[in-house]
A and B are shown apart, each in its own frame.
Chain A
Amino acid sequence: MNLETLPLQLRNAIVDLFPPALQWFVHHLLTITVILTVFGLFFAFTTIAERKLLARLQNRLGPNRAGLPWFPKLKLWGITQPFADAIKAITKEDIVPAAADKVLHFLAPVLIVAFSLLGFAVLPFGRNLIPVELDAALLYFFAAGAATELAIFMAGWGSRNKYSLLAAMRALAQLISYELPLILSVVPVVMVCGTLSTKAIAAAQGGWTFGLLPHWHVFTPWGFAAFIIFLIATLAESNRSPFDLPEAESELIAGHLTEYSGFKYALFFMAEYFGLTALSGLGVTLFLGGWQAPCEFLQFIPSYLWFMIKLVGMIVFFIWVRGTLLRLRIDQLTRLSWKFLVPLALLNLGNGAFWALTPDWTGPLVLARWAISAAIVVVPFVLLGRRLTAGQAPRSYRYA
């Protein structure tokens, strides 16, 4: 019994039950079903974890009443809340505005969920677990995500509500602004690894120094900078606080989602969480070593568990950020992207090129390599940060 290959053995056992002509079909169907089930449940428990953690960060208890239908005494700390929420969303009335473009109004939530799920196809969840092995996997990931912008436009325009449309345009401006730093932060990884395949990138981060220090990309100067830019862009791409101004439920009555209710509204949130999970999974794959164990002696834990632990870590970090930071204004948001993140990401591209050209520096030159690479990131960061905040920080707050 080998835990590492257990999922594959299970899959092969099930596939072998079918006649040979159908086996390829069952193989793929099984993969799709497993991804939908695992990440559907992951989404459900992300929502409850988010509500509980946010509640704790705000000194509240959070949802703790939902139990099991036949055992009213058993409360289970309220972890069945997402299922109650799902039933609530399904049974709610679905209101479509009379003037709405009915087809586009209906298509938008369907498309956004469908496209947000596509990204999972190329994430290597374990040493042997990757749904589809593509040579150009990274390009596929971003191509699949590109259509979510169209769905947001459809939602805003199809609602036939000027506030929805304005909010959709703002959301698109944000998505387009942050797509650039997101993709630019990924390019150094491609340059250093020399491949677009997510499987090869995860495999390239194997090995340890002294058996303890992992060779993950985040532990190099260029990788650290790229990872931070990636994190910020991920927050913005998935409309998470502090970049949640497309929805801004306290100010904008949920922006382009104003005219959506019931399950369609829930679908948009589902897509948002799927997008966040997929991007976090990509971040884990590119910078946090994918399925690799952090220390050599920890390899007895199966690789897919390591991937999930890192994924949960990323999600918890995003919830923590949401509970800590304040929402930005739209001008601050676009300024951060175009004047700060994009130039830094471009410089980091050069940094990645430098790292890719100097793998054979040995002895004292290794120190020089690290120092030069760190300087390429830190010096512009300090200079740019000082210049952009000149006259704006530190702020003085006065009571009215």
Chain B
Amino acid sequence: MIALLLIALLILGAASAAILSRNLIHSALLLVGAWAGIAAFYLWAGAEFVAFAQALVYVGAVSMVVLFAVLLTRQGATRAPVEYDSVKRAVFAFIVAGGVAGVLVGAIMGSPLQGHIASPTPAVSVKQLGLLLMGSYAPALLIVGVLLTVALLGAIVIAAEEKG
């Protein structure tokens, strides 16, 4: 239980420091710290495979995307602006953020929680996980893949400048 509290403290501390820091690079690196904390949480919960995948994807790859995006789009200015652009945007931002928070809190409150039963070996082996992903959950995996590809194409379309 102490380990869980420490991990939660690490995640929350890193995440809040990331929001409060006015230096964008520091924010990005602290965010990586929060992701690493989430990986540690998965490890604590006995989900080895998910923990390593989280570290590989978020700490290794997504962090690079974030850092490259900050450096390439802001052209050296790494200070985040504090003030909002317009009242309308601020109101919408609060509505969206509040909505997401509401959905998340509702989902957490709605799910049944038992005490954590520590198991020395993961209950599901990597092989079973792979068979599940390639078998009954294959459509979900494919849909996620298509979604990410569409998002990537959308990002290219938005970022690409028309020439001539």
Measuring CB to CB, which residues of chain A are less than 8 angstroms from any residue of chain B?
A: 104, 134-136, 139-140, 142-147, 149-150, 153-154, 157, 165, 169, 172, 176, 179, 194-196
A149 touches B25 (CB 8 A): no
Does B125 reach chain A (CB closer than 8 Å)?
Answer: yes
Q: Who on chain B is nearest to A158 by CB? A: B25
B156 CB to closest chain A CB (Å) equals 17
A149 touches B64 (CB 8 A): yes
Chain A residues contacting B53 (CB-CB under 8 Å) are: 139, 143
B55 touches A146 (CB 8 A): yes
List 9 interface pairs A-B (beta carbons < 8 Å), by A numbering. A136-B48, A140-B52, A143-B53, A149-B60, A150-B63, A154-B29, A169-B71, A172-B64, A172-B68
A18 CB to closest chain B CB (Å) equals 22
- Cross-chain contact of A196 among B29, B39, B67, B126 (Cβ < 8 A): B126
B29 touches A143 (CB 8 A): no
- Given known A195-B127, A196-B126, contact A147–B59 (CB-CB < 8 A): yes
Q: Who on chain B is nearest to A107 by CB? A: B29
B67 touches A143 (CB 8 A): no
Map CB proximity to A onto B111-128 as digits: 1 under 8 Å, 0 otherwise. 000000000011001110
> In the docked arrangement, what's the CA distance between A303 and B96, Å?
60
From B56, B61, B121, residue with most partner A Cβ within 10 Å: B56
Chain A residues contacting B60 (CB-CB under 8 Å) are: 142-143, 145-147, 149, 179
- Cross-chain contact of B61 among A104, A134, A146, A154 (Cβ < 8 A): A146
- Given known A149-B64, A194-B127, A195-B127, contact A143–B32 (CB-CB < 8 A): no
Chain B residues contacting A143 (CB-CB under 8 Å) are: 39, 52-53, 55-56, 59-60
Chain B residues contacting A154 (CB-CB under 8 Å) are: 29
B71 touches A139 (CB 8 A): no
> In the docked arrangement, what's the CA distance between A144 and B53, Å?
11
B52 touches A139 (CB 8 A): yes
Chain B residues contacting A157 (CB-CB under 8 Å) are: 25
- Cross-chain contact of B56 among A146, A153, A165, A172 (Cβ < 8 A): A146
> In the docked arrangement, what's the CA distance between A142 and B56, Å?
7
Q: Who on chain B is nearest to A141 by CB? A: B52
Chain B residues contacting A149 (CB-CB under 8 Å) are: 60, 63-64
A316 CB to closest chain B CB (Å) equals 30
- Given known A150-B32, A154-B29, A169-B71, contact A139–B49 (CB-CB < 8 A): yes
> In the docked arrangement, what's the CA distance between A210 and B142, Å?
46
Interface SS majority for chain B: helix
- Given known A150-B59, A169-B71, contact A135–B125 (CB-CB < 8 A): yes
> In the docked arrangement, what's the CA distance between A157 and B126, Å?
38
Q: Who on chain A is nearest to B25 by CB? A: A157
Map CB proximity to A onto B42-72 as digits: 1 under 8 Å, 0 otherwise. 0000001100110110011101100110010
- 6 tightest CB-CB pairs across the interface, nearest first? A146-B60, A143-B55, A143-B56, A139-B52, A143-B52, A136-B49
> In the docked arrangement, what's the CA distance between A154 and B56, Å?
18
A153 touches B48 (CB 8 A): no
A176 touches B48 (CB 8 A): no
> In the docked arrangement, what's the CA distance between A147 and B36, Å?
10
> In the docked arrangement, what's the CA distance between A134 and B47, Å?
12
- Given known A135-B126, A169-B71, contact A146–B59 (CB-CB < 8 A): yes
Q: A143-B59, A149-B64 are in contact. List 12 more A-B contacts (CB 8 A).
A: A136-B126, A139-B56, A142-B56, A143-B53, A143-B56, A143-B60, A146-B56, A149-B60, A150-B59, A169-B68, A194-B127, A195-B126
Chain A residues contacting B61 (CB-CB under 8 Å) are: 146
> In the docked arrangement, what's the CA distance between A144 and B126, Å?
18
> In the docked arrangement, what's the CA distance between A272 and B32, Å?
23
> In the docked arrangement, what's the CA distance between A210 and B48, Å?
40
Chain A residues contacting B122 (CB-CB under 8 Å) are: 135
B155 CB to closest chain A CB (Å) equals 17
Q: Who on chain A is nearest to B51 by CB? A: A143
Chain B residues contacting A142 (CB-CB under 8 Å) are: 56, 60
Q: Who on chain A is nearest to B23 by CB? A: A101
Map CB proximity to A onto B3-35 as digits: 1 under 8 Å, 0 otherwise. 000000000000000000000010001001000
> In the docked arrangement, what's the CA distance between A146 and B64, Å?
10
A314 CB to closest chain B CB (Å) equals 24
From A145, A149, A194, residue with most partner B Cβ within 10 Å: A149
